[in-house]
């Protein structure tokens, strides 16, 4: 299991690729998209900013959620749902 921390929230990545979060959820930074918890997709890396969170999926897609006050979760990405953004990284390597 891997873990990382933001300002007041924490993320964990299991060996099976599921992502879990706990702690402060002021900006939805600890509200992990359901598909990252139910096993429908697999994450290979996670990161936490002060008020946002990110996951790199095994297909090279980056998912970001939480505060977007400075564009930190939507820069060069397509808006999918409020507080959840995704983008495909052309040169992602794990």
- Specify the pLDDT at position 86: 55
Which tokens hold the place of 69?
């006050």
Query: Please, what is the average pLDDT of the chain?
Result: 81
Give the structural domain span for 57: 2-88
Residue 38 or residue 79, greater confidence? 38
Residue 93 included in any domain:
no
- Specify the pLDDT at position 67: 87
Residue 94 included in any domain:
no
> What is the count of structural domains for the chain?
1
User: pLDDT tens-digit profile of 63-81?
Assistant: 889 888 877 776 544 444 4
Residue 20 or residue 76, greater confidence? 20
Residue 6 included in any domain:
yes
Calculate mean pLDDT across residues 4-23: 95
How far from 3 is each of 11, 45, 53, 56, 59, CA to CA, in Å? 5, 9, 12, 14, 21
Residue 11 included in any domain:
yes
Residue 52 included in any domain:
yes
- Specify the pLDDT at position 78: 46
Q: What is the pTM of this model?
A: 0.79
Residue 9 included in any domain:
yes
* Residue keyed to tokens 């990405």: 77
Question: Using alpha carbons only, how large is the chain's radius of gyration in Å?
Answer: 12
Residue 21 included in any domain:
yes
Residue 54 included in any domain:
yes
Q: Residue 34 — φ and ψ, nearest 5°?
A: -55, -35
């Amino acid at each position: 299991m891997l873990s990382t921390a933001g300002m007041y929230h924490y993320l964990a990545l299991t060996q099976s690729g599921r992502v879990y979060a706990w702690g402060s959820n002021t900006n939805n930074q600890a509200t992990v998209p359901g598909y990252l918890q139910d096993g429908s997709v697999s994450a290979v890396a996670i990161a936490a900013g002060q008020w946002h969170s990110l996951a790199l999926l095994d297909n090279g897609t980056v998912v970001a959620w939480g505060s977007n006050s400075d564009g930190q979760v939507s820069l060069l990405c397509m808006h999918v749902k409020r507080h959840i953004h995704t983008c495909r990284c052309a040169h992602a390597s794990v």
